[in-house]
Amino acid sequence: MLNGKTAVITGASAGIGKAIALQMAKNGADIAVIYKGNKAAAQTVKKQAEDIGVKAEIYACDVSDYEKSKAVCEKITADFGTIDILVNNAGIIKDNLLLRMSEQDFDEVIDINLKGVFNFTKHLSRPIMKSGSGRIINISSVSGIMGNPGQANYSAAKAGVIALTKTTAKELAGKNVTCNAIAPGFIETDMTANLPQAVKEYADNTIPLKRMGTPDEVAHLVVFLASDMSSYITGEVIKVDGGLCM
């Protein structure tokens, strides 16, 4: 579905980002793997993609840093020549109740989860427009739709990603670039593995499908939105949450 395409995926060394990178590779896309700190994990993704038969490179970057993001995007463009797909997936959590949340924890989540999306979208928009049929896919969250106690920072950032997605979709539509957001619910990753048992039991009892989702179930939708099959879909927010938020 993605033969001849080049995809940039932020936060691609683990979890949902890793699944997205490898599913894109399985569908023929060359991939640029963006990671922040775990080089060994990023190198593993690179090798797995190369074993599939596509080109893959890794790039260390703090996506919240505007200038570093710009430099990395310029390097990726030079290395690959064309950029067709951008997946803004990088994100962190710093959960706490609003009254206990520190300014630092609020700012850090906003900077990575929201400003990081702006930085990479800003710096890669021109090469993506040149591709003639570019795709931008932002990973939001159901927390950004319905809010979540203990996640004032995360919910605010993910709601911002949704608004940024719709604005980007409107601004770039004239260049045949689509921009959509995916809002996962509870997905089995290292991030959710650290949730208290009571939260996991609540999720299992509340989700209509009675289970958490898998990273590949998010990645499959990303591949579809990145492909020509989704050419008339833009500005949408699609939930992958087992029916949690409806």
Active site residues: 154
Q: Which residues contact 129 (CB under 8 A, 6 or more apart)?
A: 172, 175, 177
